[in-house]
Amino acid sequence: MKIFKFILMGTLTAAALASCASEGAYPVPETTLEECVYNGNNTVFSVWAPDAEAAQLRLYHSASDEAAFKIVNMKKTKGGLWTAVVSEDVKGAFYTFQVQKNGNWLEETAGIAAKAVGVNGMRGAVVDWADTDPEGWAEDVSPEIKPSDIIVYELQHRDFSVHQTSGISNKGKYLALTEEGTKNPDGLSTGIDHLKELGVTYIQLLPSTDFATIDETRLEDNQYNWGYEPLNYNAVEGSFSTDPYNPVARIREFKQMVQSLHKAGFRVILDVVYNHTTNASVTGFERTMPGYFYRMREDGTFYNGSGCGNETASEQEMFRKYMIESLEWWMNEYHIDGFRFDLMAIHDIDTMNEISERLHAIDPNVVIYGEGWAAESPAYPAEEIALKANTYMLDKVGAFSDNIRDAVRGPLGCENAGFMDGVEGNKANVEFGIAGGVEHPQVSVERWTNNPLQHVSYVSCHDDHCLRDRLEEAAEATEAERLKMVKLAQTAVYTSQGIPFIFNGEELYRHKQGIKNSYNQPDSINAIDWTYKTKYNDLVRYYAELAAIRHAHPGFCLGDADLVREKLQFIEVDDPCVVAFRISGLEGIDSAKSLTVLLNGSKKNVKIEIPEGNYVVLAQNGYADADSIGAYSGSYCAAGATSATILAEM
């Protein structure tokens, strides 16, 4: 989001909660909401407006024509729907709905569930969906990826490809992720080939559904926005396509991107923002059923748990149905493999669990997680929303762990760089993160997960400072010392029992010139300079080897809380800036008998007692290799200052 999110545990009085709900109960369609169904010789249009007095359909030749070429009065049907059938071929036309309430006609809208839209998203588009499929789309299959191999890479389209050094032709576009063989000026791989080298397995795309903050008629101005101001949840954003005026082109190019990522061995996660919309007055929600889809105060103003002007009401029957069907649409039509929920704590637990049930019925391997916090207290009881603290009440839904983030890199707004810079007081939360947030007899922090795969381990994402900027602000150190801290921090992430998550470009030691909230900053702030792959290639290789080590050793992802309690033991070390642990009894799980990790955040070398044995050294003192960087036999292991050591007993 364009603001940072904070955990809030506030609750709401019963009276205030009652004021959030719309008056009365409204009929809801029994079937999936379909606002535009093209059948060739006829097209069926529907809009949900159960308390409207009348409704009209307007058809236009373009997304910008002032006058409609056809206006059709709609008829009220079952489930609160108004329906019209146009008995002619109108493929390529654009449409809006207009409903009447209290004798007044509300402004036109593309509806709430438009799946294809024109430029800037204010009109829906009539398309033949067969025209949107790239060649071979019917055969597109998501790769099989074991839970122990999940490593998420968060990617923003412009950041990743727009810089002149990327070697990519379709800069800032969906098609950037279809190009192979791209290189930086020194001949090192960029783009999708770089991702393959890095060993990540899931690509999380920042918002790519239609949002309102970029004027798609002025793309030559190189506008930038993260996209956390959604307009049409079921339609593809146009600014990342090569032709935002062509509804079919943007859809086909998005599918080409997904297809390319699947062929390259990646699964795709979509960042979804159902917790709030852009300015409510321009949305289909307010132009069809004012006040229903949002949590409202008695005086008609919006509650604002999102910090962006409004918060949606997942507890409302139609909005819950809408969210579920929208997510199913992205899975079925676009072959999306997972979802990251922005400000998930605004949604109620029942809705999130129903979402999980429905999506896992489509794909048992779907990955679902979100931010377990909000920007302000949501207008719903804290015990009933998807707060991080309530993650144990969610079924196969995870949450980002600010425990390990703040412990390793220092709390947000704090002037220190945490465990990786030798700051005391962080050991307990580092251990909590290593255990994947589950209850563990040696961990003092209260658990909030039932399963370690509900714990998303990270130290950097699009929000707040990227890791380099954080270090340059908070750590008084040389660049070489800061690079050691980065390696230490990421070793903690990659050896956590949770899901490892990294931010695009942090493996290149990217920066954003110290800007914390770069949601609308120019490319000069946000774009990844690919010459950094040459300058910091040692760091890139270290990230890649950490991924290779994790892939080679599923003991780092046991995937079960009981197994974590049984097999992961923390080694007692009398130093507040050293975390050491051993995962043993791995026969039948891992090729290694045991895995030992030493995380030394202190500024001095330490020697740690470990069970005597014969070990292969996989990482030590800033070097890592999934095959081996050496061997060790004995019962004491030295750990260099600000470094990580990984040992495998074979």
* DSSP result, 14-57: HHHHHHHSPSS-----SSPP-SEEE-SS-EEEEEE-TT-SEEEE
- 371 carries an active-site annotation: yes
- Domain membership flag for residue 394: no
β-pairing verdict for 623-624 and 606-620:
antiparallel
Residue for token digits 């069926």?
44
Which two structure tokens, joined as six digits, stand for 96?
Answer: 């809006």
- Domain membership flag for residue 329: no
Residue of 51, 115, 50, 59 whose CA lies nearest to 91: 59
Amino acid (one-letter) located at 126: V
The span from the CA of 399 to the CA of 403, in Å, is 11
The span from the CA of 203 to the CA of 195, in Å, is 9
Where among 105, 132, 159 does a domain terminate?
132
Residue of 368, 191, 160 whose CA lies nearest to 271: 368
Give how far the C-alpha of residue 136 lies from the chain's centroid of Cα atoms, to the nearest Å: 27
CATH number where 615 lies: 2.60.40.1180
Which two structure tokens, joined as six digits, stand for 270?
Answer: 């979509």
H-only helix segments in 237-297: 247-263, 284-288
Cα-based distances in Å from 157 to 115, 170, 231, 418: 21, 10, 19, 31
Number of domains the chain is built from: 2
Using DSSP, how many helices (H) and how many strands (E) does the chain show?
15, 26
What pLDDT was estimated at residue 217?
96
Which two structure tokens, joined as six digits, stand for 396?
Answer: 């196969």
Where among 132, 161, 195 does a domain terminate?
132
What pLDDT was estimated at residue 415?
84
- Domain membership flag for residue 208: no
What pLDDT was estimated at residue 583?
98
Main-chain dihedrals φ then ψ at residue 97, nearest 5 degrees: -110, 155
Whether residue 625 contacts residue 602, with contact meaning beta carbons closer than 8 Å, is answered with: no
Where among 108, 132, 156 does a domain terminate?
132
β-pairing verdict for 94-101 and 124-125:
antiparallel
Block mean pLDDT (10 aa), the chain, length 650: 42 39 76 97 98 98 96 98 98 98 98 98 98 98 98 98 98 98 98 98 98 96 97 98 98 98 98 98 98 96 97 98 98 98 98 98 98 96 98 98 97 90 97 98 98 98 96 95 98 98 98 96 98 98 98 98 98 97 97 98 96 97 97 94 97
H-only helix segments in 475-606: 479-494, 523-526, 532-535, 537-552, 561-567
* DSSP secondary structure string for all residues of 307-341: SSS--B-TTSHHHHHHHHHHHHHHHHHH---EEEE
What pLDDT was estimated at residue 414?
81
Amino acid (one-letter) located at 588: G
Amino acid (one-letter) located at 332: N
- Domain membership flag for residue 260: no
- Domain membership flag for residue 254: no
Residue of 494, 498, 495 whose CA lies nearest to 597: 495
Which two structure tokens, joined as six digits, stand for 1?
Answer: 């989001």
The span from the CA of 61 to the CA of 93, in Å, is 5
Whether residue 85 contacts residue 55, with contact meaning beta carbons closer than 8 Å, is answered with: no
What pLDDT was estimated at residue 9?
39
- Domain membership flag for residue 62: yes
CATH number where 93 lies: 2.60.40.10
Which two structure tokens, joined as six digits, stand for 412?
Answer: 């947000």
What pLDDT was estimated at residue 316?
97
- CB neighbours of residue 560 within 10 Å: 17
Which one of 108, 286, 315, 342 is the catalytic residue?
342
Main-chain dihedrals φ then ψ at residue 117, nearest 5 degrees: -135, 160
What pLDDT was estimated at residue 384?
98
What pLDDT was estimated at residue 204?
98
- Domain membership flag for residue 411: no
Q: Which domain holds residue 641?
A: 568-649
What pLDDT was estimated at residue 24?
54
Cα-based distances in Å from 210 to 47, 172, 229, 327, 513: 19, 16, 9, 14, 28
- Domain membership flag for residue 19: no
The span from the CA of 112 to the CA of 294, in Å, is 13
